[in-house]
Amino acid sequence: MIRKEIKLALMYRDMWQSSGKYMPRVDQLERVAEPIIKMGCFSRVETNGGGFEQINLLYGENPNISVRKWTQPFNDAGIQTQMLERGLNGLRMNPVPKDVRKLMFKLKKIQGTDISRSFDGLNNPQNLALSFQYAKEGGMIAQGALSMTVSPLHTVEYFVDLADEFIALGAEEICLKDMAGIARPASVGRIVKGIRERHPDIIIQYHGHSTPGFSVASALEAARNGVDIIDVGMEPLSWGTGHADLLTIHAMLKDAGFSVPDVNMKAYMQVRTLTQEFMDDFLGYYISPKNREMNSLLIGSGLPGGMMGSLMSDLEQNLTSLNTWKEKNNQVKLSQDDLLVKLFDEVEYAWPRLGYPPLVTPFSQYVKNVALMNVISMEKGKERWSMIDENTWNMILGQQGQLLGTLDQEIIDLANAQGRTFFDGNPQDLYPDQLEMYRQKLKDNGWYAGPDDEELFQYAMHPAQYEAFKSGEAKLKFEEDLAKKRTPKTVVSETSTPIYPSTIEVEVEGQKYLVKINHNHGQTAHVAADSSESSLKATSETHSVITSPLEGKFFLTKDAGEIGIKIGDMVKKGDTVAYVEAMKVINAISSPYDGTVTQILVTKGADVEEDQELIYIK
């Protein structure tokens, strides 16, 4: 049954996340809400979910205030608000305890969100059962999202059957979440038709990114086969890694004979102008120009537009490190395009061998990260698969659900060689309840749990980011970073103040030491005093050195409650001694040696460079 009336949903949150790192501040969101409403063409607006609340914390803004103030105008106008949540992972990149997930749905409804679009990165119905249950119990509409991808296993029949499973588990609506925009239009039409034939009355929504160029045709095929709602973006953040533009979709549907609401163009221009103003204010500093372009190379790799913002940033950072290494080793440097093509090729190689996880958050990041580490390792003459992060291992081992495809034997052998255990149970069982633990931590810190336990929720969902927010560290770091981006880069001339070394090596009675140097505007250097550790450290010539395999943030533990290594501890070759957080995942660092820890050179949360010395072993 073809629906002749098509409704439109504005992806205002995803427009920003697909383009760059940050969302507008709450005061900016409040300003743009009214003209969005006046446009008169949207039945739904995506207001929050995904990385939205973590982003608020990262620049020092309370996400609970943001969600309440941002959703209120739409609630008052009768426009439905929707959020995106990641099933087992809730609003973050790693699994969330059951009690925290349940509180989330209750709280988001209270804060003004009507619809929960729930997806699982592996399309695992088991992981979404609780999302559907808790959404309905909290008073929200439970929408189940099919994470679209193209592989020999992800067929039209697979997705139609998957919709059946979601509906049987309690999903009240179905979304075709074409996060990479690579689903072929004819197949999108057949999937919508198959679901519509089996479920004549269920609401079906199509969400497609425009990166490789299929999404306009896919939206038309979806409409012709019975879709109810189509997600759109709008200038200046449509196209590229974002979504097809409202005006294009609107004109296309009208020409095809569908009934769509008129667009108030005066209000449209207000929204467009405000969005550009927000970009000019600060958000544009975090949007790569590459993300404003369409890229058909993604047809092969299948990477989603929603992660291209972080991908280009990761690529730039890793390219700098790799080219520094190449320069030291007298090798030809790579351009960003060289590295991008190598990455796409490696994704095509690695993805089937990792079991064909749908390339959606967080598994698109896992596949991309492994592929990028493979490329970098092989460029340096090392073996493929020599750097697999802990989050990806959890996926491989079944700790976030079973993979649809079969793992390559090489991966299985590597897991066995490292003593890793495969898991085939319910992933939720691996993550026990934590709300009461965080409630006690709130009390210990003298912090208020908030109305409806909303502060408790933020702490339990985003522990590290919440602590940085409460301490003021997050806001300070954001402002420092923004100030750097706003400051034009200057070229150092030959007459500039000379750059002195920050350390020198000295020898005392045959023992070599590394001495830190402070420079007082070019005046006489002196040895820096350090209250936390001796300013004299034994050098790598007298100790074995553990270095960082990549740049990122240094931690001795990956979870709260773990105890890290300390000076004097004995370690064995292969023991995990620390972690580096990079590209949204945790990378374990193992000791290449047996011995005693004699020095830990880096503090918790510090930024480290690739090949930087971290720990001395003797």
Residue spans of the domains in the chain: they are 7-287, 298-430, 491-542, 544-618
Residue 346 near residue 57, CB atoms below 8 Å:
no
Closest to 50 (Cα-Cα) out of 7, 5, 25, 15: 15
Residue 193 near residue 226, CB atoms below 8 Å:
yes
Tokens found for residue 394: 């959890």
Paired residues of 83 in beta bridges: 48, 116
The set of residues, in sequence order, having a beta carbon less than 8 Å from that of 368 and lying 6+ positions away, is 303, 307, 311, 314, 343, 347, 583
Does the pLDDT value for residue 566 go beyond 50? yes
Q: What is the share, in percent, of the chain residues with pLDDT greater than 90?
A: 60
pLDDT band at residue 541 using 50, 70 and 90 as cut-offs: low
Does the pLDDT value for residue 3 go beyond 60? no
Q: What's the pLDDT at 25? A: 95
- In this prediction, residues 379-399 reach a mean pLDDT of 90
Residue 579 near residue 587, CB atoms below 8 Å:
yes
pLDDT band at residue 93 using 50, 70 and 90 as cut-offs: confident
Does the pLDDT value for residue 274 go beyond 90? yes
Does residue 142 or residue 573 have the better pLDDT?
142
Paired residues of 570 in beta bridges: 596
Does the pLDDT value for residue 546 go beyond 90? no
Q: What's the pLDDT at 309? A: 56
Residue 175 near residue 146, CB atoms below 8 Å:
yes
Rounded Cα gap, residues 324 and 330, in angstroms: 10
Q: DSSP string covering 127-184, please?
A: HHHHHHHHHHHTT-EEEEEEE---SSS--HHHHHHHHHHHHHTT-SEEEEEETTS-S-
Q: What is the share, in percent, of the chain residues with pLDDT greater than 70?
A: 88
- In this prediction, residues 221-232 reach a mean pLDDT of 97
pLDDT single digits (tens) 239-257: 998 999 999 999 999 999 9
Residue 35 near residue 271, CB atoms below 8 Å:
yes
Out of 80-89, 299-308, 393-402, 521-530, pick the least confident.
Answer: 521-530
CATH of 7-287, one of 3.40.50.20, 3.20.20.70, 3.40.470.10, 3.30.450.20: 3.20.20.70
Q: What's the pLDDT at 288? A: 81
pLDDT single digits (tens) 145-160: 999 989 999 999 999 9
Q: What's the pLDDT at 492? A: 45
Residue 346 near residue 565, CB atoms below 8 Å:
no
Q: What's the pLDDT at 577? A: 83
Closest to 389 (Cα-Cα) out of 614, 609, 588, 591: 588
Paired residues of 527 in beta bridges: 517
Average pLDDT score, the chain = 87
Q: What's the pLDDT at 585? A: 66
What is the 3-state secondary structure of 566-578?
A: CCCCEECCCCEEE
Paired residues of 526 in beta bridges: 518
Q: What's the pLDDT at 525? A: 38
Does residue 561 or residue 181 have the better pLDDT?
181
pLDDT band at residue 524 using 50, 70 and 90 as cut-offs: very low
Does the pLDDT value for residue 479 go beyond 90? yes
Out of 111-125, 357-371, 385-399, 425-439, pick the least confident.
Answer: 357-371
CA dihedral 33, 35, 38, 40 (to 10 degrees): -80
Q: What's the pLDDT at 602? A: 83
Q: What's the pLDDT at 321? A: 82
Residue 20 near residue 482, CB atoms below 8 Å:
no
Q: What's the pLDDT at 319? A: 83
3-class SS of residue 525:
coil
pLDDT single digits (tens) 285-331: 998 887 788 878 778 777 765 565 566 667 777 888 888 888 888 89
What is the C-alpha end-to-end distance of the chain, expressed in Å? 73
What single DSSP character describes residue 245?
B
What single DSSP character describes residue 492?
P
- In this prediction, residues 206-216 reach a mean pLDDT of 94
pLDDT band at residue 349 using 50, 70 and 90 as cut-offs: very high
Out of 22-36, 81-95, 182-196, 553-567, pick the least confident.
Answer: 553-567
Residue carrying structure tokens 């460029």? 379
CA distances from 518 to 333, 503, 522, 527 (A): 33, 9, 10, 7
Rounded Cα gap, residues 36 and 18, in angstroms: 19
- CATH architecture, range 544-618: Beta Barrel (2.40)
**Full-model pTM:** 0.81
What is the 3-state secondary structure of 306-356?
A: HHHHHHHHHHHHHHHHHHHHHHHCCCCCCCHHHHHHHHHHHHHHHHHHCCC
- In this prediction, residues 517-541 reach a mean pLDDT of 41
Q: Do domains 7-287 and 544-618 have the same CATH topology?
A: no
